Amino acid sequence: MATRRGLALHWKILIGFALGALAGVAVDRFWTPGTWSAIGVNDPSAFLSPRGKEAFASGTGSPANEEAGVVAGSVRFLRNLNLFVGQFFFQCLRFIAVPVVFCSLIVGVSSLGDPKRLGRIGLKTLLYFASTGAIAITLGLVIANVVKPGQYVDAERRASMTAEYQSRVAESVQRTLEVPSGWQQAISVIPSNPFEALATTQMLQVIFFAMAIGLGLTMIPPERAKPVTLFFDALTDVIIKLVGIVMRLAPYAVFALVANAISGMGLNVLGALLVYSVTVVAGLGFMLFVVYPTLLRLFAGVGYARFFRAMSPAMLTAFSSSSSSATLPVTIQCANRRLGVSERITSFVCPLGATVNMDGTAMYQGIAALFIAQIYDIPLTIGGQVTIVLTALLASIGTPGIPGAGVVMLVIVLESVRVPAEGIAVILGVDRLLDMFRTVVNVAGDSTAAAFVARTEGEILTEAEVNATLEAEAAESDSTRTTGSEPGNVD
C-alpha cells in the first residue's frame, strides 16, 4: 500500500530482493578468472599480494578474497560490507526471537481467558497444522511420483556428488543420532531449568514454559494476574516496535542476504539437479499460490491480494534469512497489523507455528525422500509412502526454524523407509536454495493458520478496517514525527 511516506515497505523489499538475486547470479556466473580478462586485465595476479598470487595460482581462492592491491581490496571491502549488512539484520531478528516467543505466548495464552477456551483454540490450531502438513507432504509425493525426478540423474553424476558431499552427510547423520527418541522428546519438552531453555534457545521448552505461565495466570485472581500480564504485554509491544525499526533495514538486508546466498551457491549444481529442484519449487509454489489462498478464501474470508500484500514482508524476510524463527517477529507484526488478526490469536498461533508447523519443510522432505529412493532404484510401496507422510510430519515438527535444519531431519525420514542416508549427498548442493523457498511456505502456513483460527473465533478485521487502522496510524506517526518522535511500524 502506498503511503504518504513513499513506496510501501513490501515494494522496497521486493526491489532489494530482485536486485540481490541479479547481483548474486552475476557474481556466481562472472566472478571467475575469465572475468578479469574480459575487462581487460589479462594477468589478475598483478593485483595480488604474494599470498593472493599463490592462492590464485593454486586455484584455492579468488583474487577478491585475498590480501591484494586496490582493485581486489575494494572488491573485498564491498563484499564484507554486504555480508555485514545481511548479518546485522539477521542478528537483530535472532536477538528478538526468544523474547518474542516467550512474551507473546504468555500474553496470548493468558488473554485467552480460561483453560477451556485455550484448549479449544489450541486444538483447532494443532488440527489445522497437522492437516496442512499432511496435505503438503501428500501433494509433494504425488508430484514426485508423476515427475519422477530421480530418473534424470545418471549413475556417474550420483557418484561424483556423493563423493563431494560425503563428509557433510556424515555430519548430518551424526546430528540425527543425537536426536532423542519420540518418547524422550515428549518428556524433554518440559525443561528442567526453564531459564537454561531461554538461554540456549530450546524453542519447544520455551513454548512450554510460556504456556505454563500464561495458563497459571488465568487461574489466579485477576487483580493478582494483571500486573504480570500488563508487564509482558508492554514488553511485547516494545519488541514489536523494535521489529518495526529493524524492518527499515529490510530492503538493503534482503539485497545483501540474497546476493550473498546466491553468489555462493555454485549454480552449476542446479543444472544437474534441475528437475529435482523444479519439482520441489513447483510443489512449494502450488502450496503457496493455490492451496493456502483457497483455504484462506474458504475458511477465513481473506482474498488473494490481501493475503500477499499483508504477508509479503514476512515471506521475503523468510526467503532471505531461511529461518522461520528469525522471521517470527516480522510474521507476528504482519499477521497482526497488516492482515488484521487479533493480537491474542497471533501471539498464540504464530510462535507455536514457527516451531512446530513446517509445511514447506514437510513437503520438501517427502519429495527428497522419494527422489533419493528413485536414484537408488528402491521401489516405495503405498505403505512406504504413508510412512513417509507420517515421519515427515513428525520430523518437520521436530525441525528447528533455522537454516538447513530440514535436511538434517530428512535422515530420519529416509531411515524410516530404509533408503540410504548417503543419498542426501546428491541433494546437498541445491539445499541452500531450496531452504529459502521452503521457509517462505513455512512462514506463510503459520499466517494462514492464524487467519483461520481468528476467523472461527470472530477475531479478524475486514480489509477496510485494517486499511483504516493503518491510515490512522500513518497520520498519527506523521504528526508525531513533526514533533520528533520515531514511528516503528511495518506499514
> Minimum CB separation from ligand ASP for residue 181, in Å?
21
> Minimum CB separation from ligand ASP for residue 13, in Å?
18
Residue in 402, 411, 412, 427 binding ligand ASP, rule: CB under 6 A: 402
Dig out the grid coordinates for 157 from the structure: 553424476
* Of 169, 148, 156, the residue nearest 276 (C-alpha): 148
What backbone phi and psi angles, to 5 degrees, belong to 36? -60, -45
Task: Give 150 or 406: the residue with its C-beta nearer to ligand ASP.
Answer: 406
Task: Give 229 or 327: the residue with its C-beta nearer to ligand ASP.
Answer: 327
Helix (H, G, I), strand (E, B) or coil at 460: strand
- Angle made by CA atoms 358, 364, 366, in degrees to the nearest 5: 105
CB within 8 Å of 19: residues ≥ 6 apart:
255, 259
Residue in 358, 389, 393, 412 binding ligand ASP, rule: CB under 6 A: 358
Give the torsion sign (CA, 154, 159, 165, 167).
Answer: positive
Q: Does 342 engage in binding with ligand ASP (CB under 6 A)?
A: no
Name the one range near ligand ASP by CB under 6 A: 85-93, 305-313, 319-327, 343-351. 319-327
Residue in 121, 197, 405, 470 binding ligand ASP, rule: CB under 6 A: 405
Rounded to 10 degrees, the C-alpha dihedral 233/235/236/242 comes to 150
CA distances from 74 to 25, 57, 257, 264 (A): 20, 21, 19, 19
Task: Give 125 or 172: the residue with its C-beta nearer to ligand ASP.
Answer: 172
Residue in 218, 317, 361, 385 binding ligand ASP, rule: CB under 6 A: 361
Q: What 8-state DSSP symbol labels residue 289? A: I
Q: What 8-state DSSP symbol labels residue 402? A: S
Q: Does 435 engage in binding with ligand ASP (CB under 6 A)?
A: yes
CA–CA separation, 212 and 125 (whole Å) = 17
Q: Does 438 engage in binding with ligand ASP (CB under 6 A)?
A: yes
CA–CA separation, 81 and 87 (whole Å) = 10
Task: Give 63 or 406: the residue with its C-beta nearer to ligand ASP.
Answer: 406
Give 460's strand partners: 341
Q: Does 403 engage in binding with ligand ASP (CB under 6 A)?
A: yes
Give the per-residue contact string, 19-48, with ligand ASP (x = CB under 6 A; - = no): ------------------------------
Task: Give 229 or 322: the residue with its C-beta nearer to ligand ASP.
Answer: 322
Q: Does 362 engage in binding with ligand ASP (CB under 6 A)?
A: no
Residue in 229, 357, 442, 489 binding ligand ASP, rule: CB under 6 A: 442
Q: Which amino acid is it at 190?
A: I
Residue in 404, 415, 416, 467 binding ligand ASP, rule: CB under 6 A: 404
| Residue least distant from ligand ASP (Cβ) | 406
Name the one range near ligand ASP by CB under 6 A: 85-93, 229-237, 404-412, 462-470. 404-412
- Under a CB-based contact definition with an 8 Å cutoff, are residues 238 and 131 in contact? no
- Under a CB-based contact definition with an 8 Å cutoff, are residues 453 and 364 in contact? no
> Minimum CB separation from ligand ASP for residue 299, in Å?
23
Q: Does 161 engage in binding with ligand ASP (CB under 6 A)?
A: no
Q: Give the position of cell 497488516.
A: 338
Task: Give 291 or 392: the residue with its C-beta nearer to ligand ASP.
Answer: 392
Q: Give the position of cell 544437474.
A: 272
Q: Does 391 engage in binding with ligand ASP (CB under 6 A)?
A: no
| Contacts to ligand ASP by CB under 6 A | 322-324, 358, 361, 399, 401-406, 435, 438-439, 442
